[in-house]
Amino acid sequence: MCHDVLQDPTFFRFLSQIDHEFAAETRAGRCPDCCGPLHVSDYPRKPRGCPASVREEYSRRLSFTCGRCDARATSPSVRFAGRRVYLAVVLMLRSPPGGASGQELRDEFNIPASTLKRWRTWWRRDFPSTPFWQSMRTRFMPPLAIERLPQSALERFDGDAMTERLAQALRWIAPLSIRRRSGNPRLAA
């Protein structure tokens, strides 16, 4: 099941469509610093974990720059997990229920064991300490099993197909794909 999703260009194009919707919402707004107009300022990415048939459309991260103050405004993404080189879907499915094992993913995408360990640590230690999780955790009753993330989250989203639940879960964590302001007036991707 997991392998099928990770090889399905239709699913990856669907995720692209969601990112374009997020980008349209961001561009419809104004610069968060000076209320100036936002102009397209996509930047290159070298994504790992996508089928060759969609690699070109995944080679750019949708982003904007203010026409007045040059501040960057990057929209949330279901395709990219912040600055990570592997796609968000690979991060989400690195050890899915009933899907590929960590070893199969390492073999398929040439993911180092240390990277999988870092992801596991992020899901189980770092993710639960994020302000995002602190504000969202009460929406899941009974509470999600932290030691089983991201699988325990995937299981809670509606849909018969893995692709439906996966798309919902990726939308859910999309706010984590952008950096929030912290002293620096610019948004970072």
pTM of the model: 0.86
- Neighbour count for residue 9 (Cβ, 10 Å): 13
Write the pLDDT tens digit of every residue in 48-84.
Answer: 988 899 999 999 999 999 999 999 999 999 999 988 8
> With bands split at pLDDT 50, 70 and 90, how would you rate the model's confidence at 2?
low
In Å, what is the CA distance from 102 to each residue of 26, 108, 177? 35, 10, 23
| Among 21, 26, 54, 59, residue whose Cα is nearest residue 42 | 59
Q: Residue 89 is encoded by which pair of tokens? A: 């879907």
- Whether 62 and 80 have beta carbons less than 8 Å apart is answered as no
